[in-house]
């Protein structure tokens, strides 16, 4: 009877932890779906409050395989950084966990860095929701906001940009590693303008935690998605996960799959107030090569077959 009583607290704690993780997952999914469709941009700095990020340190995933953050190189706080995050996935869950919360002790792994994750400017139109996003360190992904952050006198500013954006989310199917990057060069021009080092980031498993209905590029459904993206800034997609109560029933919570975000080495970038096309192309090529190398070095340890490679579109 004594042994049975000793095991009871552990079982109860496990049940409580599962309920808290499920609650955290529900909060994140509801926050992602609660989108304002206003197109007007706002000029806002992402003001991260340490208390908010600490309170939300619990991973918003009800899974046994909690998100992981892998550091491959030091990012000294005497410099500024532009982190290119890939892939976008359905909800960019790996980026949200590791850069918007203290889920994996980002501030301890990268001391002195002040992280701002850029997201749709239209999300900042709703007053209360805007403050919630800003408390997590999010900022509008427009040039005014990014210039403002990287122009601060205090060094150690780190801007996280989901380079592929809404278009890349259309390729967020399990087993896919297709990135919208070949013609996305604005983040490189931003880095050159401020002399901020470029850092490739890849979240292995981002496309595995949800299932999504994909359409052929020449289908009318894909054309509708593309047209909607041009109008509203994001792409509507049909996706599903597990339910709130069971992993075997349909719902909108992520499946229990490993999710590992790997932060690569910084690429030094000179400061150019008016970078030329040749300079932008040069550092864009260096970035793509560094990202591909990062993927190749870590893919097998993260469960990706050795025969799988990145596809750039």
Per-domain boundaries in the chain: 23-312
- The span from the CA of 265 to the CA of 23, in Å, is 35
Count other Cβ atoms within 10 Å, centred on residue 207.
Answer: 24
pLDDT at 265 over 90: yes
| Whole-number pLDDT of residue 37 | 33
Q: What angle do CA 77, 50, 126 make, to 5 degrees?
A: 110
Contact 202, 83 (CB under 8 A): no
The arithmetic mean of pLDDT across residues 161-168, rounded, is 92
| Whole-number pLDDT of residue 29 | 60
Let me know if 239 is exposed, middle or buried by CB neighbors in 10 A (0-12, 13-18, 19+).
middle
Nearest-10 crossing angle of helices 277-298, 186-194 = 110
Give me the sign of the Cα torsion angle 265, 70, 85, 45.
Answer: negative
Short-list 164, 185, 140, 173, CA closest to 87: 164
289: Cα within 13 Å, side-chain hemisphere: 7
| Whole-number pLDDT of residue 30 | 59
Short-list 209, 207, 204, CA closest to 296: 204
Is 3.30.70 the CATH classification of the domain at 23-312?
no
pLDDT at 11 over 60: no
| Whole-number pLDDT of residue 40 | 33
- Name the most confidently modeled range: 51-55, 130-134, 143-147: 143-147
The arithmetic mean of pLDDT across residues 159-178, rounded, is 92
| Higher-confidence position of 283 and 245 | 283
The arithmetic mean of pLDDT across residues 230-256, rounded, is 81
- The span from the CA of 18 to the CA of 249, in Å, is 17
| Whole-number pLDDT of residue 288 | 98
pLDDT at 43 over 50: no
307's CB contacts (< 8 A; 6+ apart) are none
pLDDT tens digits, one per residue of 15-30: 766 666 666 666 656 5
pTM over 0.85: no
pLDDT at 247 over 90: no
**Radius of gyration (Cα) for the chain, nearest Å?**
20
Pairing of the two strands 81-86 and 114-119: unpaired
Sheet holding 138-140, edge to edge: 68-71, 260-263, 197-204, 81-86, 157-162, 114-119, 138-140
The arithmetic mean of pLDDT across residues 256-279, rounded, is 96
pLDDT at 114 over 90: yes
**Residue 223: helix, strand or coil by DSSP?**
helix
Residue % of the chain over a pLDDT of 90: 52
Count other Cβ atoms within 10 Å, centred on residue 15.
Answer: 10
| Whole-number pLDDT of residue 17 | 65
The model's confidence at residue 33, banded by pLDDT at 50, 70 and 90, is low
| Whole-number pLDDT of residue 213 | 87
- The span from the CA of 5 to the CA of 37, in Å, is 54
| Whole-number pLDDT of residue 64 | 45
pLDDT at 116 over 70: yes
The arithmetic mean of pLDDT across residues 178-201, rounded, is 97
pLDDT at 269 over 90: yes
The region, left, alpha or beta by phi > 0 then psi within -120 to 50, assigned to residue 112 is left
3-state helix vs strand vs coil in the chain, percent to 5: 40, 15, 45
| Whole-number pLDDT of residue 226 | 84
Short-list 53, 180, 189, 172, CA closest to 117: 53
| Whole-number pLDDT of residue 237 | 83
The model's confidence at residue 65, banded by pLDDT at 50, 70 and 90, is low
| Whole-number pLDDT of residue 222 | 86
Alpha helices (H) in 61-181, listed in sequence order = 93-99, 106-109, 127-135, 143-150, 165-169
Q: What is the mean pLDDT of the chain?
A: 83
Pairing of the two strands 211-213 and 238-242: antiparallel
């Amino acid at each position: 009877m004594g042994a049975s009583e000793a095991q009871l607290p552990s079982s109860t704690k496990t049940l409580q932890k599962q309920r808290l993780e499920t609650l955290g997952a529900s909060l994140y999914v509801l926050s992602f779906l609660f989108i304002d469709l206003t197109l007007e941009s706002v000029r806002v700095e992402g003001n991260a409050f340490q208390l908010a990020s600490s309170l939300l340190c619990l991973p918003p995933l009800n899974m046994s395989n909690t998100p992981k953050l892998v550091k491959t190189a030091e990012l000294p706080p005497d410099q500024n950084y532009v982190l290119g995050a890939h892939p976008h996935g359905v909800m960019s869950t790996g980026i949200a966990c590791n850069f918007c919360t203290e889920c994996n002790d980002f501030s301890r792994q990268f001391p002195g860095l002040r992280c701002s994750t850029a997201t749709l400017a239209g999300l900042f139109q709703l007053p209360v929701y805007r403050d919630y996003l800003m408390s997590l360190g999010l900022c509008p992904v427009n040039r005014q906001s990014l210039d403002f952050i990287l122009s601060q006198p205090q060094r150690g500013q780190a801007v996280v940009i989901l380079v592929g954006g809404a278009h890349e989310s259309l390729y967020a199917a399990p087993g896919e590693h297709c990135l919208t990057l070949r013609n996305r060069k604005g983040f490189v021009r931003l880095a050159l303008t401020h002399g901020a080092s470029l850092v490739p980031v890849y979240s292995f498993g981002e496309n595995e935690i949800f299932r999504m209905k994909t359409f052929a590029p020449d289908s009318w459904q894909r054309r509708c998605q593309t047209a909607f993206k041009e109008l509203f800034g994001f792409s509507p997609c049909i996706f599903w996960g597990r339910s709130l109560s069971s992993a075997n029933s349909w719902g909108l919570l992520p499946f229990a799959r490993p999710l590992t975000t790997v932060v690569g080495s910084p690429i030094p970038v000179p400061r150019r107030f008016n970078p030329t096309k040749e300079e932008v192309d040069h550092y864009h090529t260096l970035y793509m090569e560094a990202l591909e190398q990062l993927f190749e070095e870590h893919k097998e340890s993260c469960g990706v077959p050795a025969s799988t490679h990145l596809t750039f579109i």
